[in-house]
Structure 1
Amino acid sequence: MAVRKLDTGKWICECYPAGRGGRRVRKQFTTKGEALAFERHTMEEATNKPWLGEAADRRRLSEVVTLWYNLHGKSLTAGERVYNKLKLVVAALQDPLATDFTAKQFAHYRDKRLSGEIYFNEKWKNGADPVTINLEQSYLSSVFSELSRLGEWTQPNPLETMRKFTTAEKEMAWLTHEQITELLAACNRLGEDLTLIVKVCLSTGARWREAENLGRSQISKHKITFVRTKGKKNRSIPISKELHDELTARKTDKLFKECYFQFMGAIDSTSIKLPRGQLTHVLRHTFAAHFMMSGGNILALQKILGHHDIKMTMRYAHLAPDHLDTALRFNPLSTMHSNITKDKMN
């Protein structure tokens, strides 16, 4: 679309209200101001004239991502981190028009991520792992899905039907009773704050930050209420009288100082070996594992841990004492021997 001066001295407005593929509107005027005013009026009126068709969506992928962040991402706990990651992904994709973005483009992008041709920090210089790339796909797909729900995106989600890489389930470490005893002894040597944070995590399944940031107002009679949680919902978990008394004996409003690196030192001083990336989270896994092994209910565990999706909690289902016990009783060898015994008895 453009306003330009003709050799005759007049000004012409030439615009495409429905985009380059739509109907062209041309009109001559005596002055440039008239031509510009006509251009603005024509473009504004296009949305109210269905015979001109809908204006083409010329937003770049970066604009769509920014819109998602402004309308939704800001409200998420990890929204800013996800937004910053998405900006890197969009730049690597060369910021295409959002309507032109396809699963094919993302497939070629992730191939380059796997090979290390595209990397965002030295950690992935030799290639990102499939789990990381699956996360990037989830983030980008969620942008289109959420904007669609908000009425800000009317086209199909370009990544909706794209399958993610199949990945092996990560090892989930948890501590035995003997290891818990060893760990608490190591924590005692490093300070009372550290010991109590570990006890809170083991007693409630709390995330490290939820326990470390506890305030006096969150402790009531034999109960802790966790606030500002990852799932955005408060949850209250019962605790023993002994732990309650230890917590209420503390005199400051914020119960603990930061102890993350102390915990790292405590683990290093024991015989406990943990998988990569499962330092403090092993306490949460330990709570859930012992809960299920002692006969706890999976739905109750979901509420205690604050999982929004039951699929997250189902990772612990196999630890239940009766989990798949029918495999032992109903496998063909067992049933064969059972039938032979019945025949002999008859």
Structure 2
Amino acid sequence: MGNPVADKFSADDFARYRSKRLEAGISANAINREHAYLRAMFNELKRLNHWNSENPLSEIRSFKIVEKELTFLANDQIKLLFAALSESSNPDTLLVSQICLATGARWSEAEGLKPTQLRQGAIEYAVTKSGKNRTIPISAELETELQQLAKDGRARLFVNCYSAFREAVDRSGLALPAGQLTHVLRHTFASHFMMNGGNILTLQRVLGHSDLKMTMRYAHLSPEHLQEVRNLNPLARLTLG
């Protein structure tokens, strides 16, 4: 945008800027975030009485985002992935993946675990993307493995193993959508949680979503999702009559 002076900045300036960003291949989602940050900046300046005019971005609509399909792994695919991970030159890769599948953690959260985050049968995720701490119960078997690593006195339980995970996925032959490499583990946790009868509000807390709309992407996988439609639609009621 050329560092415009704030009181000279207009909605037209931002509209031209985001058009250029789109042409440069920047995603609409990323541009919406920039829009939100700039709009929030002017709102904050106004709250602090440093800005007396209207927010120049208040009337600009964000781009409508078409929701992408979230890929998750079926049980046989998980076994296939684990077989490839067990052959990895980095022994931490398999356990980090298991943590993601067991707790719905992001890869960075699981990979960066410290011994101090182990809490009597649970893992506490701190300094998260949402800014909220989450404490997630884990199985006794997984806790034993992690406590064994913690006894070594290391500052972090694992070394970086993202690249080793990518190599394992390639070896397994699994085809994953762009941008969903390690995130497929989080999607797999959430999807299986709902398919196995989990509660959507519990899932929201486990994933750390501040907005329930984010979690609702998984609601349709619940075996009870919209089942009332079978009995409460007019055709069914007419048949019953």
Query: What TM-score results when the alignment is normalised by the length of structure 1?
Result: 0.64
Alpha carbons of structure 1 residues 146 and 184: separation in structure 2 relative to 1, 3 Å = farther
- Whether 1:102 and 2:10 are equivalent positions in the alignment is yes
Contact 1:201 1:284 in 2 (8 A): yes
Alpha carbons of structure 1 residues 229 and 113: separation in structure 2 relative to 1, 3 Å = closer
Taking only the aligned residue pairs, the percentage that are identical comes to 49
CA RMSD, 1 decimal: 1.9
**What secondary structure does 1:237 align onto?**
strand
Query: What TM-score results when the alignment is normalised by the length of structure 2?
Result: 0.89
- Whether 1:212 and 2:111 are equivalent positions in the alignment is yes
Deviations along 1:250-296, whole A, 9 cap, x unmatched?
A: 12422111100000011111132111111111111111111111121
Q: CA deviation at 1:131?
A: 2.5
**What secondary structure does 1:133 align onto?**
helix
Where structure 2 has 5 or more consecutive residues not aligned to the other structure, the ranges are none
Q: CA deviation at 1:108?
A: 2.6
Amino acid at match of 2:28: P
Alpha carbons of structure 1 residues 149 and 196: separation in structure 2 relative to 1, 3 Å = farther
- Whether 1:186 and 2:84 are equivalent positions in the alignment is yes
What is the rounded CA distance, in whole Å, between the counterparts of 1:236 and 1:131 in structure 2? 29
> In the comparison of the two structures, how many residue pairs are matched?
237
Structure with the greater alpha carbon radius of gyration: 1
Alpha carbons of structure 1 residues 132 and 235: separation in structure 2 relative to 1, 3 Å = closer
Alpha carbons of structure 1 residues 231 and 132: separation in structure 2 relative to 1, 3 Å = closer
Contact 1:203 1:287 in 2 (8 A): yes
1:60: which partner in 2?
A: none
2:101: which partner in 1?
A: 202
Where structure 1 has 5 or more consecutive residues not aligned to the other structure, the ranges are 1-92, 117-123
Query: After TM superposition, where is structure 1 displaced by more than 4 Å over at least 4 residues in a row?
Result: none
2:171: which partner in 1?
A: 269
Within 5 Å, give how 1:52-63 maps onto structure 2: none
What is the rounded CA distance, in whole Å, between the counterparts of 1:289 and 1:199 in structure 2? 15
**What secondary structure does 2:129 align onto?**
coil
The correspondence for 2:54, drawn from 156, 163, 186, is: 156
Contact 1:171 1:275 in 2 (8 A): no
What is the rounded CA distance, in whole Å, between the counterparts of 2:147 and 2:98 in structure 1? 14
- Whether 1:175 and 2:175 are equivalent positions in the alignment is no
What is the rounded CA distance, in whole Å, between the counterparts of 2:81 and 2:48 in structure 1? 49
What is the rounded CA distance, in whole Å, between the counterparts of 2:221 and 2:47 in structure 1? 38
**What secondary structure does 1:171 align onto?**
coil
1:305: which partner in 2?
A: 207
Q: CA deviation at 1:146?
A: 2.9
1:88: which partner in 2?
A: none
Amino acid at match of 2:97: V
**What secondary structure does 2:113 align onto?**
coil
Deviations along 1:101-139, whole A, 9 cap, x unmatched?
A: 22222223223333x3xxxxxxx3xx4342332222122
- Whether 1:325 and 2:227 are equivalent positions in the alignment is yes
Q: CA deviation at 1:331?
A: 4.3
Amino acid at match of 2:11: A
Once the two structures are overlaid, the 10-residue window that deviates more, 259-268 or 191-200, is 191-200
Alpha carbons of structure 1 residues 220 and 96: separation in structure 2 relative to 1, 3 Å = closer
